[in-house]
Amino acid sequence: MSGTSRDALMAVAASREICDGETAFIGTGLPMVAAYLAKATHAPGVNLVFESGIIDPAPLELASGVGDYRLAYGSTKIAGTFYALSLLQQGKIDIGFLGTAEIDAFGNLNSTVIGDYRRPKVRLPGSGGANDIASMAKRFVIIARADPKRFVEKLNYLTTPGFLTGPGAREAAGLPGNGPVKVITDLGILGFDPTSKRMRLEETFPGISATEVQSAIGFELVPYADTRPAVAPTEEQLDLLRTKIDPNGMYVKNLQASR
């Protein structure tokens, strides 16, 4: 696994969060790669939903966005954004995937603004369907590269709820979803302490120490005695990424050929 790219490690880790027979709300980038890897291996019965309302497509190549017409190929239904989001509101989405510009210790996300809201340093794309996914999917996974500027003690703006202020806060806010379960970074995999709802380090990628992960996080991770090395990708998974799912390296970069 030492020669495997970080992109591939992240995609494989994300794919493992998808269970067979589930309905998954998918975006572009590594979540799309992870979804098709899961579908090609351990979860052939997963039903994929895209925010554009394209349902369970089988594209000949990866799309560049959720509205890319390449996703229409092989789809079981094309129904529009309202329909896709209504599946969340009906409680039919088992898992969703999100990216973010900022994330705090409770898994809350900011994709709106850096700096003052009315006079920002950086104006970001905003929520899109992220708030809907985080609020109403049964669980969600965050994919974000580790960086102290991204993993922050205090968000510039709360776009999307994780565990809000801690235990019981989601329930008090009336949010039906169970919140974030994993944060997949390029250094390892973070989870959440069941008591405090704060982030902890659960798995490290090859050559990465717990100290290195902590140094890339802008807040103190909850100590966790069972931190372990991440499960290595199989040759089948790497070969699928390399030859079938992302052969052009659109999202998974520097994937070495089998030896």
> Mind telling me the catalytic residues?
51
Q: List, as one string, the DSSP characters of 210-258.
A: HHHHHHTSSSPPBP-TT-EEPPPPPHHHHHHIIIII-TT-SSS-SPPPP
The DSSP letter of residue 71 is G
Q: List, as one string, the DSSP characters of 11-66.
A: HHHHHTT--TT-EEEE-SSHHHHHHHHHHHTT-TT-EEEETTSEES---SS--SST
- φ/ψ (deg, to 5) at 13: -60, -40
Query: Which residues have a Cβ under 8 Å from the Cβ of 88 and sit 6 or more positions away?
Result: 25, 96, 129, 132, 133, 135, 136, 137
- Buried b / exposed e along 115-146 (16+ C-beta atoms within 10 A): eeeeeeeeebeebbbbbbbbbbbbbbbbbbeb
- The kind and range of the H/E element at 83 are helix 81-89
Angle subtended at Cα 113 by Cα 183 and Cα 197, rounded to the nearest 5 degrees: 30
Query: Which residues have a Cβ under 8 Å from the Cβ of 93 and sit 6 or more positions away?
Result: 23, 24, 25, 49, 87, 133, 136, 137, 138
Could you tell me if 183 and 147 are in contact, meaning their C-beta atoms sit under 8 angstroms apart?
no
